[in-house]
Amino acid sequence: MKTDVLLGLQWGDEGKGKIVDVLSPEYDIIARFQGGPNAGHTLIFNNQKFVLHLIPSGIFRENTTNVIGEGVVLDPVIFAEEIEQVEKSGRNLSENLLIAEKTNIILPTHRILDAADENELGKLKIGSTGKGIGPAYKDKTGRNALRVGDIMMPDFREKYKALKNKHLKRLETYNFEFGISEYEEKWFESIEKLKRFKFINGSHFFNDALSEGKKILAEGAQGTLLDINAGTYPFVTSSTVTSAGVCTGLGIAPSKIGDVYGIFKAYTTRVGSGPFPTELFDNDGEKLQNIGHEYGATTGRKRRCGWLDMTALKYAVQINGVTALIMTKADILSEFDTFKVSEYYELNGKKINYFPYKITYDLKPVYKIFKGWKSNLKNCKSKDEFPPEFAVFVNYIEKETGVPVKIISTGADRNDTLIC
């Protein structure tokens, strides 16, 4: 067996959580492979809404094992709060939620460093989610990190203290006020709560599962344009978001990757700072924001909105080896008489049809105008029932990317999903 992957092709919030929840009955195992509580994955079913930050989105399915893979950075406090919230719904997670022992832990001082770094950057700040992601991954590559497996070691508190002191020394060089004791207390309580979960050797677990014929789906967080290598650096997150990250993040070989589902919104959004060529500052932008309820699931910040960007989408399809596309929020475009899609960019009068090194304000998207369908897509039960204008839009995307659109999401609820 191979591991399928579902990941974001834009700047995050494409609807990954919703679609993983929809697909999870087909899988034995759902695994997060990167990122941390910067993610906010929304699931809506039976008139209930859950926003998951660390727990994989297969958690509400009876026979699915959910795993936090070793590429993730885990904040015990956020994790404990999330467990409590999900268990309130009647689920007992002890049996179907596992954590890879190499998963890195976010310390209280990582969050402080994140805030201090942003404060130092001033106007140039990344617009991070403030969850300590950057500093935690810095400690991983700096070979300083604490990992979940360390929790069971007798010297855990000493290791914690040593790392915390390193952070405090660094913080002395900033002009930044902070308090730590309250969060630290909660953090140690939450570390105790972690101990009821099974810590696993991720690589053995996933490879054994594949040998036994089990089906695995790797759930991405963030989106390709936020990837540490492929994204709009430095306005990115600190992990490998792309399909390449599944190998290191779960501990499996590239030859074990199967289908790669690339998910995108029918338009584009971005939270935080950084370039966004098709961003709108007009009524259309406001309309997308309002009708699409575009507010960050983790921070509540307003999401910036713009039209679909084919140059960026084709780049993301290529870099991830996407084999099937998933379009979400098509229903939001139902409200528009016409809408636009950027076909390519122009820079100083020259056509650019790749994602350039530096995305500046001089880069001008060149738009194709599409006619809206002005009807409710929820009534469509198959591709044949698409309004003709919608079929034109979908065919255009398939032709340009060379990849079929296999799933279309027409609402936030689990049931508002058309598998073509």
| Enzyme catalytic residues | 13, 41
Interacting residues with ligand GDP between 195 and 234 (CB under 6 A): none
- CB nearer to ligand IMO: give 76 or 134: 134
139 binds ligand IMO (CB under 6 A): no
136 interacts with ligand IMO by CB under 6 A: no
Spatial neighbors of 118 by CB under 8 A, at least 6 apart, are: 125, 126, 127, 128, 130
**Pairing outcome for strands 268-270 and 304-306:** antiparallel
Q: What residue type is assigned to position 64 of the chain?
A: T
Which string of x and - marks every residue 273-312 that binds ligand GDP (by CB under 6 A)? ------------------------x---------------
Question: From the list 15, 56, 249, 272, which residue makes contact with ligand IMO (rule: CB under 6 A)?
Answer: 272
- Binding status of residue 314 toward ligand GDP by CB under 6 A: no
CA-atom Rg of the chain in angstroms: 21
CB of 322 to Mg ion, least distance (A): 19
Work out whether 225 is an interface residue with ligand IMO (CB under 6 A). no
How far apart (Å, rounded) are the C-alpha atoms in residues 169 and 53? 30
- Dihedral sign for Cα atoms in the order 161, 163, 164, 166: positive
Establish if 226 lies at the interface with ligand IMO (CB under 6 A).
yes
Q: Which is nearer to ligand GDP, 14 or 75 (CB)?
A: 14
40 forms part of the interface with ligand GDP (CB under 6 A): yes
The residues in 236-265 that bind ligand IMO, with binding defined as CB under 6 A, are: 237
Contact segment (CB under 6 A) with ligand IMO among 32-40, 150-158, 190-198, 383-391 equals 32-40
Give the footprint of Mg ion on residues 15-54 (CB under 5 A): 40
State which amino acid sits at residue 92: N
* Contact status: 149 vs ligand GDP (CB under 6 A): no
Where in 245-304 is the site for Mg ion (CB under 5 A)? 297
Q: Is 24 an interacting residue with respect to ligand GDP (CB under 6 A)?
A: no
What is the C-alpha separation between 92 and 68, in angstroms, rounded? 16
Candidate ranges 123-131, 146-154, 174-182, 349-357; the one touching ligand IMO (CB under 6 A):
123-131
Largest CA distance in the chain: 66
- Return the H-helix or E-strand segment holding 244: helix 244-250
What 3-state class would DSSP assign to 2?
Answer: coil
CA distance 381 to 35: 35
Minimal distance in Å, beta carbon 157 to ligand GDP?
35
Query: If binding is defined by CB under 6 A, does position 134 make contact with ligand IMO?
Result: yes
Q: Which is nearer to ligand IMO, 39 or 116 (CB)?
A: 39
Residue 289 touching ligand IMO (CB under 6 A):
no
- The nearest distance, CB 386 to ligand IMO, in angstroms, is 27
Give DSSP secondary structure letters for 165-187: HHHHHHHHTS------HHHHHHH
Q: In terms of C-beta density within 10 A (0-12 exposed, 13-18 middle, 19 or more buried), how is residue 39 classed?
A: buried
Interacting span for ligand IMO (CB under 6 A) from 25-33, 101-109, 125-133, 307-315:
125-133
Cβ closest to ligand IMO, residue 237 vs residue 334: 237
Residue 206 is inside which H or E element, if any? helix 202-211
Footprint of ligand GDP (CB under 6 A): 8, 12-18, 40-42, 44, 297, 328-329, 331-332, 409-412
Footprint of ligand IMO (CB under 6 A): 8, 11-13, 38-41, 126-129, 131, 133-134, 221-223, 226, 237, 271-272, 297
Footprint of Mg ion (CB under 5 A): 13, 40, 297
